Structure 1
């Protein structure tokens, strides 16, 4: 796993794209503060640039760097959620403009996954995590389901967990307003 982290860090620091395992499904990732890298993800996936991307952080203490007002409830939701949970926050900041939705929001997840946590911690910046599929196609449930076009379109493919064929599912997504009101987008 350490060699994968070193190689992925080199690619992320150079503005490249990685294909990597997460706490949910395999993702395409890049530096979430690098607009050109984010642009490459949209192009690779054939995805409309108006669609949102999810950002991963290694711990909830960093939320305040990327969200102007973090509702207190967010910390409890992150701590007690049994399934991977992506929370959409209003008023994103310090991220590439093409990661932030037109309404100013951003979806952030704190993965409880050893590879992701170490990678993000060592990178010291948030990482984009979008499903490793072409736009409009089904999300891959494991590495073997990823289209060759995606594999060839990234700069580094992580070896860790490629042999894990257990089916994975995307995260739960909820939108959390600064006043604590919330709505589930995907369960």
Structure 2
């Protein structure tokens, strides 16, 4: 049975955040708000939790296109090859914000992602998520719970999210109603920026 924890964006309660961190460190799965749709995530260092998310999403972990939720740009070098100045400027302009940037993966990627050429990086403009990642000390591996086949409320209303995901996750964070528009995905791993999916983020960052 999942627990519903109400956390306020304006002032995330440290005690509630700690509860979430404890669950993540134990290998639990958490559904949390972002600046787009609600996400399903786990601690990037927890192999069993990563495998659980892959099973839920019915994908092979090695082939999954989960993104990494980071606190800021300072720890990117752990997961991303050195990037040039123009790429960094785009990231600096756009983040935190509703974007997923595909960047060349570094050699020090966690074990299941070792063979990846690229990684999707996300720094959402949401104080709850950023506080969780900060306290956790490393990124969350994340995938959106948005589902074309379901009634919209099941991906935007925390109480209905809990109803649907009750037996699959440990915590659902109620951070208010979510959005139903996904992030804009931009591939910066090649010579020119490539728009993979147009979502909530404006394209005026170039």
Q: TM-score, normalised by structure 1?
A: 0.82
Counterpart selection for 1:146 from 144, 161, 175: 161
What's 2:5 paired with? none
2:44 maps to 1:38: no
Q: Is the 8 A contact 1:45 1:133 kept in 2?
A: no
Q: Is the 8 A contact 1:56 1:126 kept in 2?
A: yes
Structure having the higher Rg? 2
Q: Is the 8 A contact 1:85 1:173 kept in 2?
A: yes
Size of the aligned set, in residue pairs, is 181
2:110 maps to 1:96: yes
What's 2:197 paired with? 186
- Structure 2 matches for 1:77-156, cutoff 5 A? 77-81=90-94, 83-98=97-112, 100=113, 103-132=116-145, 137=149, 140-143=155-158, 146=161, 148-156=163-171
Q: Unaligned 5+ residue runs, structure 1?
A: none
Cα distance, 1:147–1:79 mapped onto 2, change above 3 Å: same
Could you say what the CA RMSD is over the residues aligned between the two structures, in angstroms? 2.6
1:124 and 1:91 map into 2 onto residues whose CA distance is 20
Tell me how far 1:26 sits from its aligned partner.
0.7
1:133 and 1:166 map into 2 onto residues whose CA distance is 10
2:22 maps to 1:7: no
2:32 maps to 1:20: yes
Q: Unaligned 5+ residue runs, structure 2?
A: 1-11, 199-206
Cα distance, 1:114–1:147 mapped onto 2, change above 3 Å: closer
- The C-alpha deviation readout for 1:146-185, integer Å capped at 9, x for no partner, is 37342321112223x1xx33634211111112x6522111
SS at 1:30 equivalent: strand
Q: Is the 8 A contact 1:142 1:165 kept in 2?
A: yes
Cα distance, 1:148–1:30 mapped onto 2, change above 3 Å: same
